[in-house]
Amino acid sequence: MEGVTDSGLATLPASDRPDAAARLRAALLDASFTADGLLDLLGAPAYAALARSETVPALRATRGDTPLETLVRLFLLQQPVPHARVVGVLPVDDLVDSGWLARVGGDEFAATVDVRPYGGPDGEDWFIVSDLGCAVGGAGGIGQRHEGVVLGVGGASTTLAGITVRTPVAAALDLGTGSGIQALHAAQHATRVTATDVNPRALHITALTLALSGAPAAELNEGSLFEPVKDGETFDLIVSNPPFVISPGARLTYRDGGMGGDDLCRSLVQQAGERLSEGGFAQFLANWQHVAGEDWQDRVRSWVPRGCDAWIVQREVQDVNQYAELWLRDSGDHRGDSTEYQARYDAWLDEFEARKVKGVGFGWITLRRTGAAVPSVTVEEWPHPIEQPLGETIRAHFDRLDYLRAHDDADLLEGHFRLAVEVVQEQVGLPGAEDPEHVVLRQHRGMRRATKVDTVGAGFAGVCDGTLSAGRILDAIAQLMGEDPVLLRDRTPAQIRLLVEQGFLEPAV
């Protein structure tokens, strides 16, 4: 293909040609080259196969000559397409001139970048641009990687997009923007978006993603961590899917942070506090080490900056062997020379052994800037299924923290509460038993938590509809159960506080 850089990566389309991007966008939409159109064309099995880096089903489904089939082969499957098929679908001369297409062979055209249709949260038709081979199969799609390659949409990208709090803000920062997916989301609810990356190629591709998706342009700054941000500048929202992989060296820019162990994630979290506006959120994906003789929760808790509430959730833990194998496969090393693969695997284990690392945790970290005298830091392990998007659940978690901080036990008894939506009660016990062994409240939304409650807790939660105060409900329960209402009022606020904190009950304000 024409236009290959010294790094072996294709030359990118011009980022200063919004006119060409707009015409390409119009052509893509006109042919239904969208997330829904792609699913309709390929069918669910072939569509799912793309996520596994398997393109044969999609190639079979695009053997016709419709405009949509042509675009899928060209921009998603990286197949050269004859001039006769392209010319009626795309403004060919314009796209060659602006660098989106290149002439190959005798009379064919090929895309210079991947373009993947991506559905926005409110039905928007967006397009994520990435380097060739990166739109299909996420991180495993292109075999061995070049150092500066820019990936497309992967599981980590969509996880971060789903957990991000989506309230309207004045200023948002996407730190380590990559292909620009987080900046694209932020542009929908932020007046001003700044995107940074240590890789200038990523900034170029972010500009293409925004332009092709019809989104406002972002301020693009090159540099590591918060270095590109102006002194004293703060943001209402900071998001980052950083190069968090704990690896020996910094071979691949898109994943390796270049710091020892989990220092990059620690530095990112610690520095975020002073960059947040009051009430602002910072949300990150991260890896952290599980070190022999050390509590992992204490480790990540020590990262939280002063003046910030935090909610840290560990979603998965891998032993050092699994972890090394995962990222060696991600970079395509398993497809190369076996001796080199073994040497890199060995180097990874040497690094972990030197640091006494037994495993690596993965999860998300949310900070919120607070003026509270004693910030709240919650660190938990939650490997169970959740319901995305979680942004509203996370925002509500911090709202409930504020409520609980401002209300002592006496205030709670005067308060009014409602049972959260889609909370059900389950009774667990032997068949035929007169009374259950215990009662469980279970959420069917958000974090999908479950918690055991006693008879009083179950009865209290079931009556909460916002009309009666907590104290009056407890007095009624005491009368029904023949208990002393004063003693019941004394011992129940702790249970109410837990049910509010975990989202089973909501203040009726």
Would you say residue 127 has pLDDT above 50? yes
Residue 245's beta-bridge partner residues? 256
Give the pLDDT confidence of 387-437 residue by residue, as tens digits: 999 999 999 999 999 999 999 999 999 999 999 999 999 988 778 777 777
Backbone φ and ψ for 291, nearest 5 degrees, come out as -100, 140
Cβ proximity of 151 and 64 under 8 Å: no
Distance CA(350)–CA(446), nearest Å, equals 40
Q: Give the total residue count for the chain.
A: 509
Give the pLDDT confidence of 156-170 residue by residue, as tens digits: 999 999 999 999 999
Q: Out of 211-220, 285-294, 323-332, pick the least confident.
A: 323-332
Would you say residue 6 has pLDDT above 50? no
Query: 409: which residues sit within 8 A by CB, 6+ positions away?
Result: 493, 497
- Report the Cα–Cα distance between both ends of the chain, in Å, rounded: 63
pTM: 0.94
Which of 297, 311, 294 has its CA nearest to residue 502? 311
Would you say residue 106 has pLDDT above 90? no
Per-residue model confidence (pLDDT) at position 43: 96
Residue 249 vs residue 344, higher pLDDT: 344
- Mean pLDDT for the chain? 93
Distance CA(100)–CA(113), nearest Å, equals 7
Distance CA(71)–CA(22), nearest Å, equals 16
Q: In what order do the strands lie in the sheet with 505-507?
A: 465-469, 416-419, 505-507
Give the pLDDT confidence of 165-190 residue by residue, as tens digits: 999 999 999 999 999 999 999 999 99
Per-residue model confidence (pLDDT) at position 2: 45
Per-residue model confidence (pLDDT) at position 275: 98
Give the pLDDT confidence of 197-246 residue by residue, as tens digits: 999 999 999 999 999 999 999 999 999 999 999 999 999 999 999 988 89
Tokens for 207, please give them. Answer: 């500009």
Per-residue model confidence (pLDDT) at position 137: 60
Per-residue model confidence (pLDDT) at position 97: 97
Distance CA(105)–CA(79), nearest Å, equals 12
